[in-house]
Amino acid sequence: MHQRIKQVRSRMHQAARRCARDPETIRLVAVSKKVPADRVRQAVAEGIHIFGENYVQEARRKIERLSGSGVSWHFIGHLQSNKARQAVALFDLIHSVDSIKLARALDREAAKINKVQPVLIQVNIGQEATKSGVSVAEADRLAGEIGSLKNLVLQGLMTMPPFFDNPEKARPYFTALRDLRDRLQGELDSGLHKQIHLHDLSMGMTADFEVAIECGATLIRVGTAIFGARD
């Protein structure tokens, strides 16, 4: 794992250098779905401090086992409204808000524990039937709605483009997410929600994170390149 993490970091730095970005502005989220707690602990020892999980139950067990390790947990999977209570209790950032119903449920549960929950909107930028996320057209309305909820803070957008063998083919999707972010930010600034800063673009995985960095990713979600293949 030591070598793999070193390599991911070096690839991150090279990609950042190619587009004159400060590598410190890009956060690495180690995707630990299906990875047991002791392997996560090993990654912590290698300096990884953000983990991304897709399933609430699985994450809860791991988070309990690693309590006190000072790491930050992000939720990146599809979230059902009936898991909102657990999600706000467990995660520092939820990348995958994709409906007004879910946003309201998260807001309600966050209010109950006096938390202001940071969230991203997941956008289905490739309009794939198999992927969750709102359409570009729906993103406006959801952003405005989240802006009016007191216990949520909208920090940006997330996407998962279609899979391609050639990562260059993902570039237009990453660019589209960045363009959407810029347009939404303009609309929020000129509307009722001047206090919202869509700082984060969560995009890029093992196969394509370098292209995502070149397109402005601030959070990359990398599983396989860190932990090896999942079964």
Give contact residues for ligand PLP (rule: CB under 6 A): 31, 33, 54, 76, 160, 205-207, 221-225
Q: Which of 4, 93, 92 minimizes the C-alpha distance to 48? A: 4
The DSSP secondary-structure symbol of 134 reads B
Of 156 and 223, nearer to ligand PLP (C-beta) is 223
Of 59 and 188, nearer to ligand PLP (C-beta) is 59
Q: How far is the CB of 78 from ligand PLP (least distance, A)?
A: 9
In DSSP terms, 29 is beta-bridged to 221
Q: Decide if 130 contacts 184 (C-beta within 8 A).
A: no
Q: How far is the CB of 194 from ligand PLP (least distance, A)?
A: 31
First to last CA, the chain: 17
Q: Which of 185, 191, 187, 103 minimizes the C-alpha distance to 151? A: 103
Distances in whole angstroms, Cα of residue 142 to Cα of each of 32, 108, 172, 224: 28, 16, 23, 32
Closest residue to ligand PLP, judged by C-beta, is 223
Of 72 and 224, nearer to ligand PLP (C-beta) is 224
Q: Which of 28, 85, 40 minimizes the C-alpha distance to 67? A: 40
Q: How far is the CB of 207 from ligand PLP (least distance, A)?
A: 6
Of 71 and 76, nearer to ligand PLP (C-beta) is 76
Q: Which of 124, 123, 87, 91 minimizes the C-alpha distance to 102? A: 87
Q: How far is the CB of 4 from ligand PLP (least distance, A)?
A: 11
Q: How far is the CB of 49 from ligand PLP (least distance, A)?
A: 17
Cβ-Cβ contacts under 8 Å for 130 (sequence gap 6 or more): none
Of 169 and 183, nearer to ligand PLP (C-beta) is 169
